Structure formats: C-alpha cells, structure tokens
Amino acid sequence: MAAVASLHSERGLLSTLDLLAEDIHEPQQVRRNLQAYMDMVDAAAAVDKAGRPTLSLKPSSYTLSPLHEGGDAAGSQQAMWQIIEKAMAHDVDVSVDMESRHWTDFTLAALQRFHSDGARNVGCVLQTRLYRTEQDLLALPEGIRVRLVIGIYQEPSDVALTEKAEMKARMLTCAETLLRRGHYVEFATHDVHCVRQFLEEVVPRVGVGPDRYEVQMLYGVPRDRFLVDLLRQGIKCRLYVPFALGWDLAIEYLRRRLDEYPAMMWLVTKNMFFRR
C-alpha cells in the first residue's frame, strides 16, 4: 500500500494490486488467499477515490482442482464472488486476470454470471494471441471493462498466434472493436510503439475521449519517461503491482515464470541497461 500511495502522490500513477498466489495444494492456501483479498478490499477502500487501487485476481488461486491440471475449478467462482461482492459494497474495482487457454471458457462464463448478478465493478482480460478472442469480445457483457494483452502463456499454434507482431496488430484491431462497442479499454503492453499506435491512430479514428481508456504496464518495467509524457497529455496510466505474502512465495513465482518463459531473463537484463 505504501508503493501504491507513492506511485499516486509522487507520480500521478494509478495501480492494480495483485497477490501472487498460484500453485495451490492445501485448503489453507485457498483460505489464506481469500482472506488476503478481503483485507485488500479494506485497504483499497481506505484510499481516497482518486488514487484508489483496483484489485486483480486469478481464478486458480481459489481451487485445489485447477483446470490446467484437468480439474473442475471447484469453489473458485464462489470465492471470486465473495471478493467481488465485498469490493462492490466498498466501491473497489476488481479485474479477473486471464490464465492459460484451459481457463478461458470458465473465466468468461464466470464474468457473465457476475455481471448478470449485478457486479458493475468487475473487469475482464482478453489475450490477443488466442484465435478465439475476436469472437469472445463480441459476446462480452455489455459495457464491461476490458484489459487487452497479448497473453503471457505460451499456447500451441492450433489455438493461438505465435508471432508477436501479429499479436500486437490484433491488439489494435480488438481495441478498436471494443471502443466502438462501448467498452472501457485498458491497453496493457510495454511496447511503446504499440501504445502510440493505439493513442494516435485507433483512438482518434473511433473519436472517444480519455475517459474511455487507460494504459497499463507492470510495476518495475522501466517506462518512466514515456509514462510521464502520457500523464502530461491527460492519459490515465495504471501499474500492475504484484506482491507476495512471503519471499518464498515470491521467489517460487519468479522461478515458475522463468521456466515458462526463459526469454524473460533477457528482458529484465536489457531493461537494467536501457532505460526509457
């Protein structure tokens, strides 16, 4: 919460808070994750509305039966609803992160359900690498907030694009469709060229104001000068701020991400030397 407060007061940046809580094996981990999010709702609600963080959560954090291991995600939807309902009562917005392709149907169906049960504080994530995304966005609940990303999970070529350039091009076309359909778009990428294309080509073409979109990046990826520039133009910028309840959980998370995506080590090293 100290990081969230200083991002806003010193740099004008908004945040979304995320508990690193995957790889669940014990019922007590599910309870711990749920309790942590309940506490995060209280902490977020205590912050002035102008700088109030949103919360991002992952469905797999609340089940011992994850879909990517062939399970049925038992209990996950109910746990998410508990958090979303409390957040709604405290005027806190929540985004449901999108996990691997095994979770897409489940997550979109859960979001439909939350929305039809009255949750207007909930937002979703679409991954432009998946072929299905162009259809999925046509079936979203009306007006739901959408974070657009290329997707972090390496998916097979029968379900997903494998070339980054194509995923980025798809971010722009999907963003345009979403804006035209009345959605609030959270354009989440560190690719400054792609962000510029969104802001300088897509937004003027659709003709919407800065109340209809924001730019999102991960906390710690050095894009300071670029973000300052956007803020000066009156564009809302939000950082995704992940944290863990202990160093062991944080290190386990980082190790897993590196296993899934070894190129990350190169990105991190490169960022240490080339700051923008």
Ligand X SMILES: Cc1cc2nc3c(=O)[nH]c(=O)nc-3n(C[C@H](O)[C@H](O)[C@H](O)COP(=O)(O)OP(=O)(O)OC[C@H]3O[C@@H](n4cnc5c(N)ncnc54)[C@H](O)[C@@H]3O)c2cc1C
CA nearest 226: which of 193, 270, 253, 198? 193
**Smallest separation, CB 247 to ligand X (Å):** 19
Answer yes or no whether residue 77 interacts with ligand X by CB under 6 A: no
Tokens of 15: 């945040």
> For ligand X, how many residues bind (rule: CB under 6 A)?
25
Answer yes or no whether residue 107 interacts with ligand X by CB under 6 A: no
The angle subtended at Cα 194 by Cα 111 and Cα 154, nearest 5°, is 55
Answer yes or no whether residue 97 interacts with ligand X by CB under 6 A: yes
Answer yes or no whether residue 152 interacts with ligand X by CB under 6 A: yes
Place of tokens 């432009």: 128
Contact pick of 54, 60, 127, 133 for ligand X (by CB under 6 A): 127
124: number of Cβ within 10 Å: 25
Crossing angle of helices 76-89 and 104-116, rounded to 10°: 40
**Smallest separation, CB 18 to ligand X (Å):** 8
Contact pick of 218, 228, 245, 258 for ligand X (by CB under 6 A): 218
Answer yes or no whether residue 197 interacts with ligand X by CB under 6 A: no
- Closer CB to ligand X, 42 or 229, in the complex: 229
**Smallest separation, CB 56 to ligand X (Å):** 7
Answer yes or no whether residue 153 interacts with ligand X by CB under 6 A: yes
| CA 34 vs CA 55, 59, 85, 173: distances in Å | 13, 11, 13, 36
Residues that bind ligand X (CB under 6 A): 97-98, 125, 127, 147, 149-153, 164, 188-191, 216-218, 221, 240, 264, 267-268, 270-271
